[in-house]
Amino acid sequence: MPELPDLERFRTYLNATALHETVKRVRVPDTRVLENVSAPELDRSLRNREMETVDRHGKFLFVRCQDGKRRGGIDLALHFGMTGELAYYKDDESAPEHPRVVFDLASGYCLAYDCPRMLGRVRLVKDRDAFLRAHEVGPDAMEIGEGAFREGLGRYRGGLKSFLMDQSRQAGIGNVYADEILFHARLSPKAKAMRLSRAEARRLYRSMRRVLSLASERKGRRERFPRTWITPRRRRDDPQCPRGCGSVQVGRVNGRTTYWCPGCQEH
DNA sequence: AGTACCACCTGACGGC
DNA sequence: TGCCGTCAGGTGGTAC
């Protein structure tokens, strides 16, 4: 489930592979992932452009595509839904299984946007900030300051889990990392955001930063997460709290599968 | 301003 | 074997 740390992995990956390469052609094996552009338009817009820079904001990846002869660049905006990823390869036999958009590069390599469950989206964006505003995407979760974070919390009438996952407050946190952050902060997913003390709000902010940055370092690979984390307990029968206080609860909070330890996550 | 619920999607998995 | 239901999950729409 691509969340901020996974998006960081994709950013690093693209940086190390297709960056500075020129698009020769864009193929779209499945047009359903295209949002505001047709397949021919996408091809026409990106052909002969160089993938110049790649940035992440929340769960979006923006690839700046530039053409020396044409004025102005354009951003390719990738969202990975729940199962998307990138693949860079030369031979067709190493192609991924569900390529939905494939960028053929001048070097002979391909960059594929692979998205088995089709929940991701590919778009062209002229003005990144306007796009983020239009889609109500707030500051990136690794960029937002403690003050702004606490202010958002104080005004939010719902529970902590839905607050953390609300992309308009801070962008990048999904279902899995929301649980991990709350576990670290020792706060219940159902606790009311507005009711947190200053110290609790600070704890939540620090947990968010610690979890997201360590997870990004570990490339979002769950098998590399510390054993003290709750994420590796997901999808196990009878998951136990890493702090040794007994069974982890599995239930639904705001309609999402939620793992938490009632023993150490108060409220 | 939240929440609840559905739709979009497909692969994996359990039950029969 | 193979069919069916259910689940996973991010986003976005609608009703309340």
pLDDT in tens, A149-196: 999 999 998 999 999 999 999 999 999 999 999 999 999 999 999 999
Which residues have CB under 7 A from strand C?
Answer: A 1-3, 58-59, 79, 81-83, 117, 119, 135, 165, 167, 174-176, 234, 256-257
Predicted pLDDT of residue A267:
65
Tell me phi and psi for residue A147, to 5 degrees: -60, -50
What one-letter code names the amino acid at A233? R
CA of A165: nucleotide with nearest C1': C10
Q: Which of A49, A59, A190, A233 is catalytic?
A: A59
Residue ranges of chain A whose pLDDT lies below 50: none
Predicted pLDDT of residue A164:
94
Predicted pLDDT of residue A252:
86
Predicted pLDDT of residue A239:
86
Q: Which nucleotides of B are covered by protein (CB under 7 A)?
A: 1-6, 8-11
DSSP at A194: G
DSSP at A176: H
> pTM of the entire structure?
0.94
Q: Is A167 helix (H, G, I), strand (E, B) or coil?
A: coil
A192 tagged catalytic: no
Instruction: Label residue A244 left, alpha or beta by phi (over 0 means left) and psi (-120 to 50 means alpha).
Output: left
Rg over CA atoms, chain A:
20
Give the strand order in the sheet containing A50-57.
A50-57, A60-66, A74-79, A121-125
DSSP at A131: H
